[in-house]
Amino acid sequence: MFAITVLTEDGRRHVRASAGRLAELVNRLGGQDDRFLVVQRIPDLPEVFIQVWHEDGGDYVLEHRDGAPDRHFQTILDRPVSVITAMTRWACLEDEWGSGLNWTSLDLGLPEPPPPLELDEDEREKLDARIREVIVGGYETRAQLAEIAQDYLVSGNRRPVSPEQARWLVDRMWLERVEEQASWKGETDPERLSRAFTALEAAGITARENFTCCRTCGQAEIGAAGSPDARGHVYFHSQCTDSAAAGHGLALLYGGFDGSSDTTASIGREIVAALRETGLSVEWNGDPRQAITVVPLDWRKRLVG
């Protein structure tokens, strides 16, 4: 798998797509609502991407940007295999990945920097704290974070943060986190958690991370989130994520789909075993009415975007 995320016109995200999956997505381009895709690195870096546009009967317009609007280039190709080769070499971080292609520079001009935020000290501290909290949580994309930054201080008709200011603020804080995580070595606790959830999903238990905004929504939606023949579920919602990111451990909500306390207890034991198998520490007294808590937990979740 490549350290990339592929975004398609229909809004789907393909995280860590394989070479075969990337080729499949390029080969199918051309129809309605499936005419382009954008490939970003993991972690996503501002102004760094490669993308292609193709409509049935036409050529493939391949573009890439390398850090700024004045580093945006385009080439026209007549076969999908040429696009797949270029995108694969880009995803593999090959030196001279674009050699042999006839690139032309697209002069899109440099955007004007946004005006300074007109916020008092308290508002700025609250906004920075909220964005940092969500970045540390690690599940939101840069675009989602920009929406949070834009909406966080809205009150009535007052919208003190413009879309451009939101993107500027988020990108600055995002890159700080990217630099910080570059020093992390080995598997982190959130990655162990994901590994346990993957194993539980394979065993017939619907397992979802950062699922919905709260317990009420989670309980209402978890039944439809996985396989129809799932035996039970486990998830944590975004408020649980915020708690884990703040260093308070992670509460997991779980249950059986037949409504039986015995089934719920059995599902709980499977969850605890899967978590411990990955090396995580778990607190649970066996009571199906009590949440399973992963603690202590070093929440260093690597950004994707």
Which bin fits 204, alpha (ψ -120 to 50), beta or left (φ > 0)? Answer: left
Can you list the residues of the chain whose pLDDT is less than 50?
none
Closest to 72 in 3D by CA, of 102, 105, 39 = 105
Per DSSP, what are the bridge partners of residue 54? 60
pLDDT at 110: 81
Closest to 46 in 3D by CA, of 65, 22, 25 = 65
pLDDT at 82: 98
pTM for this one? Answer: 0.92
- The Cα-based distances of 12 to 105, 135, 225 in angstroms read 29, 21, 16
* 192-247 residue pLDDT tens: 999 999 999 999 999 999 999 999 999 999 999 999 999 999 999 999 999 999 99
d(CA 22, CA 86): 11
pLDDT at 108: 83
pLDDT at 27: 98
Q: Which amino acid is at 127?
A: L
pLDDT at 104: 97
The fraction of the chain above a pLDDT of 70, given in percent, is 100
Secondary element (H or E) of residue 183? none
Q: Which amino acid is at 145?
A: L
What are 134's two structure tokens? Answer: 């969500």
Q: Give the residue extent of every domain in the chain.
A: 4-105, 121-181, 189-294
Cα 124–Cα 130–Cα 131 angle in degrees, nearest 5: 90
* 105-114 residue pLDDT tens: 998 888 889 9
Closest to 270 in 3D by CA, of 211, 218, 202, 222 = 202
11: three-class secondary structure by DSSP: coil
Cβ-based burial of 109 (10 A; exposed 0-12, middle 13-18, buried ≥19): exposed
In order, the DSSP letters of 248-304 are: S-EEEEEEETT--HHHHHHHHHHHHHHHHHTT--EE--S-TTS-EEE-S----PPP-
pLDDT at 107: 84
- The Cα-based distances of 39 to 13, 16, 47, 84, 114 in angstroms read 10, 10, 12, 12, 26
pLDDT at 89: 98
d(CA 38, CA 47): 12
48: three-class secondary structure by DSSP: strand
304: which residues sit within 8 A by CB, 6+ positions away? 5, 15, 42, 43, 44, 138, 141
